[in-house]
Amino acid sequence: MRHRHRPSRVATFVAEAVNVRQMQTTTEALQRSNRRAVLVSDQHALLRGYNGQAELNFAVAEQTENVDPAGHDALILMEGAAKLADSASGLARRFMEAGKPVIALTGSAGIISALVGNDAPAEQTASALVNGQLYQITDEDADWKILNAIGERLDAERGLPAAANA
Protein backbone atom coordinates (compact mmCIF):
# COMPACT_ATOMS: atom_id res chain seq x y z
CA MET A 1 0.00 0.00 0.00
CA ARG A 2 1.32 3.41 -0.97
CA HIS A 3 1.26 5.99 1.79
CA ARG A 4 0.34 9.54 0.93
CA HIS A 5 0.75 12.80 2.70
CA ARG A 6 -1.98 14.11 4.94
CA PRO A 7 -5.11 14.87 2.88
CA SER A 8 -5.57 18.45 1.80
CA ARG A 9 -8.78 20.23 2.72
CA VAL A 10 -11.71 21.25 0.56
CA ALA A 11 -14.32 23.59 2.07
CA THR A 12 -17.74 22.03 1.53
CA PHE A 13 -20.65 24.43 2.03
CA VAL A 14 -23.78 22.72 3.39
CA ALA A 15 -27.20 23.77 4.60
CA GLU A 16 -29.92 21.95 6.52
CA ALA A 17 -31.20 18.70 4.97
CA VAL A 18 -27.88 17.52 3.51
CA ASN A 19 -28.20 15.37 0.38
CA VAL A 20 -26.55 12.17 1.66
CA ARG A 21 -26.01 10.68 -1.80
CA GLN A 22 -24.25 13.88 -2.91
CA MET A 23 -22.15 13.85 0.27
CA GLN A 24 -21.10 10.25 -0.44
CA THR A 25 -20.16 11.13 -4.03
CA THR A 26 -18.17 14.14 -2.82
CA THR A 27 -16.34 12.16 -0.14
CA GLU A 28 -15.42 9.35 -2.55
CA ALA A 29 -14.23 11.71 -5.28
CA LEU A 30 -12.12 13.73 -2.84
CA GLN A 31 -10.59 10.62 -1.28
CA ARG A 32 -9.41 9.46 -4.71
CA SER A 33 -7.21 12.55 -4.93
CA ASN A 34 -6.16 12.55 -1.25
CA ARG A 35 -8.47 15.36 -0.23
CA ARG A 36 -11.11 15.60 2.46
CA ALA A 37 -14.30 17.57 2.83
CA VAL A 38 -14.43 20.12 5.64
CA LEU A 39 -18.08 20.97 6.28
CA VAL A 40 -18.74 24.69 6.34
CA SER A 41 -22.04 26.43 7.10
CA ASP A 42 -23.70 29.43 8.68
CA GLN A 43 -25.63 26.95 10.74
CA HIS A 44 -24.09 25.65 13.95
CA ALA A 45 -23.24 22.20 15.27
CA LEU A 46 -25.16 19.41 13.55
CA LEU A 47 -27.07 19.34 10.30
CA ARG A 48 -29.49 16.60 9.29
CA GLY A 49 -29.24 14.52 6.20
CA TYR A 50 -31.66 11.97 4.85
CA ASN A 51 -31.12 8.72 3.03
CA GLY A 52 -34.58 7.31 2.43
CA GLN A 53 -36.23 7.06 5.84
CA ALA A 54 -32.94 7.11 7.75
CA GLU A 55 -31.75 10.37 9.27
CA LEU A 56 -28.03 11.08 9.53
CA ASN A 57 -26.30 13.95 11.30
CA PHE A 58 -23.28 15.86 10.02
CA ALA A 59 -21.01 18.02 12.16
CA VAL A 60 -20.13 21.48 10.85
CA ALA A 61 -16.37 22.02 11.20
CA GLU A 62 -16.13 25.74 10.34
CA GLN A 63 -18.44 28.71 10.30
CA THR A 64 -18.65 30.44 6.92
CA GLU A 65 -17.29 33.77 8.12
CA ASN A 66 -14.17 32.07 9.55
CA VAL A 67 -13.18 30.16 6.40
CA ASP A 68 -9.84 31.21 4.93
CA PRO A 69 -9.53 30.15 1.26
CA ALA A 70 -5.75 29.86 1.72
CA GLY A 71 -6.30 26.80 3.94
CA HIS A 72 -8.31 24.91 1.33
CA ASP A 73 -7.74 23.58 -2.19
CA ALA A 74 -11.23 24.50 -3.39
CA LEU A 75 -14.83 25.19 -2.38
CA ILE A 76 -17.75 22.87 -3.06
CA LEU A 77 -21.33 24.12 -2.85
CA MET A 78 -23.63 21.23 -2.03
CA GLU A 79 -27.28 21.00 -3.06
CA GLY A 80 -29.27 23.27 -0.80
CA ALA A 81 -26.67 26.05 -0.76
CA ALA A 82 -29.34 28.30 -2.26
CA LYS A 83 -31.11 28.21 1.12
CA LEU A 84 -28.20 30.35 2.35
CA ALA A 85 -27.57 31.99 -1.04
CA ASP A 86 -26.08 35.28 0.21
CA SER A 87 -23.56 33.50 2.39
CA ALA A 88 -22.77 30.85 -0.27
CA SER A 89 -22.26 33.55 -2.91
CA GLY A 90 -20.02 35.58 -0.62
CA LEU A 91 -17.89 32.56 0.21
CA ALA A 92 -17.71 31.57 -3.48
CA ARG A 93 -16.58 35.09 -4.35
CA ARG A 94 -13.81 34.94 -1.70
CA PHE A 95 -12.53 31.64 -3.13
CA MET A 96 -12.77 32.97 -6.68
CA GLU A 97 -10.78 36.09 -5.76
CA ALA A 98 -8.16 33.89 -4.07
CA GLY A 99 -7.74 31.95 -7.32
CA LYS A 100 -9.27 28.76 -5.90
CA PRO A 101 -11.75 26.59 -7.84
CA VAL A 102 -15.40 26.85 -6.87
CA ILE A 103 -17.47 23.75 -7.59
CA ALA A 104 -21.27 23.83 -7.49
CA LEU A 105 -22.92 20.44 -7.49
CA THR A 106 -26.36 19.84 -8.96
CA GLY A 107 -28.92 21.98 -7.24
CA SER A 108 -26.45 24.79 -6.54
CA ALA A 109 -24.92 25.58 -9.94
CA GLY A 110 -27.03 28.72 -10.26
CA ILE A 111 -25.02 30.38 -7.50
CA ILE A 112 -21.77 30.45 -9.44
CA SER A 113 -23.51 31.10 -12.75
CA ALA A 114 -24.86 34.29 -11.19
CA LEU A 115 -21.34 35.29 -10.06
CA VAL A 116 -20.21 35.42 -13.69
CA GLY A 117 -23.44 36.92 -15.03
CA ASN A 118 -24.85 33.77 -16.67
CA ASP A 119 -28.43 32.54 -16.55
CA ALA A 120 -29.29 29.73 -14.15
CA PRO A 121 -28.41 26.34 -15.65
CA ALA A 122 -30.63 23.26 -15.95
CA GLU A 123 -31.42 21.42 -12.70
CA GLN A 124 -29.05 18.48 -13.39
CA THR A 125 -26.07 20.75 -14.04
CA ALA A 126 -22.88 20.76 -12.01
CA SER A 127 -20.52 23.68 -12.53
CA ALA A 128 -17.00 24.76 -11.71
CA LEU A 129 -15.49 28.20 -11.80
CA VAL A 130 -11.74 28.00 -12.39
CA ASN A 131 -9.56 31.03 -13.14
CA GLY A 132 -12.61 33.02 -14.23
CA GLN A 133 -13.81 30.29 -16.62
CA LEU A 134 -17.16 28.59 -16.04
CA TYR A 135 -17.37 24.87 -16.85
CA GLN A 136 -20.67 22.99 -16.80
CA ILE A 137 -21.73 19.36 -17.09
CA THR A 138 -25.36 18.32 -17.44
CA ASP A 139 -26.24 14.65 -17.00
CA GLU A 140 -27.02 12.12 -14.29
CA ASP A 141 -23.33 11.77 -13.33
CA ALA A 142 -22.59 15.51 -13.42
CA ASP A 143 -21.48 15.73 -9.78
CA TRP A 144 -19.01 12.85 -10.07
CA LYS A 145 -17.62 14.13 -13.37
CA ILE A 146 -17.06 17.72 -12.22
CA LEU A 147 -15.45 16.61 -8.94
CA ASN A 148 -13.07 14.27 -10.76
CA ALA A 149 -12.20 16.82 -13.43
CA ILE A 150 -11.33 19.51 -10.88
CA GLY A 151 -9.43 16.99 -8.71
CA GLU A 152 -7.33 15.98 -11.72
CA ARG A 153 -6.71 19.62 -12.60
CA LEU A 154 -5.57 20.43 -9.05
CA ASP A 155 -3.26 17.40 -9.09
CA ALA A 156 -1.81 18.40 -12.47
CA GLU A 157 -1.14 21.93 -11.19
CA ARG A 158 0.80 20.42 -8.28
CA GLY A 159 2.65 18.03 -10.58
CA LEU A 160 1.04 14.96 -8.97
CA PRO A 161 0.19 11.80 -10.91
CA ALA A 162 -3.49 11.26 -11.80
CA ALA A 163 -5.49 9.17 -9.34
CA ALA A 164 -5.96 5.57 -10.43
CA ASN A 165 -9.28 4.93 -12.13
CA ALA A 166 -11.60 2.75 -10.13
Range of the domain at 102: 8-156
Side chain identity, residue 131: N
Residue 54 covered by a domain? yes
Structure confidence by residue, pLDDT tens digits, 54-92? 778 888 999 999 999 999 999 999 998 989 999 999 999
Inter-residue contact 115 to 91 (CB < 8 Å)? no
Statement: residue 165 has pLDDT above 70: no
Q: What is the pTM of this model?
A: 0.90
CATH number at residue 93: 3.40.50.880
Helix 20-32 × helix 142-158 angle, to 10°: 30
Inter-residue contact 45 to 60 (CB < 8 Å)? yes
Residue 39 covered by a domain? yes
Residue 166 covered by a domain? no
Residue 95 covered by a domain? yes
Domain count along the chain: 1
When pLDDT is cut at 50, 70 and 90, the band that residue 162 belongs to is: low
Q: What is the mean pLDDT of the chain?
A: 88
When pLDDT is cut at 50, 70 and 90, the band that residue 53 belongs to is: confident
